Amino acid sequence: GSQVSGNIQKLFVDYNSPVTENQIIAQIDPASFETRVNQARAALASAQASVQVAQATVENSKAGVETARANGESAKANIEKAKVAVAEAKRTLDRNKTLLRQALIAQSDLDAAQTAYDSAMAQLQLSQAQYEAAMGQLKSATAQARLAEAQLVAANAQVEQAKAALQAAELDLAHTTIRSPVHGIVVSRNVDVGQTVAASLQAPTLFLIAQDLTMAVGAKSQHILTQFLLEAVVLSSIGGILGVVFGIVGAKLVSILAGWPTIVSADAIILAWLFSSAVGIFFGFYPARKAAHLDPIQAMRYE
């Protein structure tokens, strides 16, 4: 049968052809199935390329996370430096205020200390802002890395899906070549070249191949006639012998029960056997003669 739908392109066997197991017996037009295979291969190549892009994105996102983390650590260190500078500037400012009250320094010295303190505070605020920005970048980079990893997983899944689609397309293409499942003889052909076959839940029967008819190939009419007559004589003779045996046994039992004498004649036994053989020849000759004039395979169907 056919597992795919399509037009029969070639037939390699016909009625009465001997076939071997796995022999090619028909070909469905493979053009559309070859196109599907090529499309599936292209889809697989595209999916594999997407995996490479996704992998590169993951690597870049990981590098971005490390860079953002390093920037955060640097900004944190700058905050500590700015705090030290603020503390130093605060001590200088407080000391200059005391010295100014004691008239030991000029007002300009106090102004310079105030300016240095304000600058240190501004630097501290800047460092803190830079740290917050670095933490935001780290958070964003981490989210991007997770997204990139999810995209990589999805890309790998698409590759597996594309592989499965390619395998299915290749399997359908292989099914366009119809092979014999067994050794035997083609006894029926149900399709012609150009005919459309449709696959369904139950595959349509394109060829009927009989395994038990191979012995009929090459048989001669005389051989078939002789075989049928011999079988008829043998079966009738066996039946006659069994009938004689059962008859003798039955007669013995009746004679014992009734007290009658039992007489078994050898001539009667021989005549009974000859009669049964003649019956076999008489009733077997007509079907044997008819079968001998048929095609050998058809003749075996009468057996």
| Domain segments of the chain as ranges | 1-28+177-211, 30-175, 215-301
pLDDT digit string, tens, across residues 163-220: 999 999 999 999 999 999 899 999 988 889 999 888 775 666 788 888 855 444 455 5
Task: Check pLDDT > 80 for residue 269.
Answer: no
Scored b (16 or more CB within 10 A) or e, 226-250 reads ebbbeebbeebbeebeeebeeeeee
Domain 30-175 superfamily per CATH: Helix Hairpins (1.10.287.620)
What is the fold, at CATH topology level, of the domain defined by 1-28+177-211? OB fold (Dihydrolipoamide Acetyltransferase, E2P) (2.40.50)
What are the CA-CA distances from residue 78 to residues 67, 71, 128, 131, 136 (Å)? 16, 10, 8, 9, 17
Q: What is the pLDDT of residue 300?
A: 45
Task: Check pLDDT > 80 for residue 1.
Answer: no
Task: Check pLDDT > 50 for residue 134.
Answer: yes
Virtual CA dihedral for 154, 155, 159, 161, nearest 10 degrees? 30
Share above pLDDT 70 across residues of the chain, in percent, rounded to a whole number: 71
**1-28+177-211 and 30-175 share one CATH topology?**
no
Helix, strand, or coil (residue 185): strand
In angstroms and rounded to an integer, the radius of gyration of the C-alpha atoms of the chain is 51
Predicted TM-score (pTM) of the model is: 0.58
Mean pLDDT of 18-40: 95
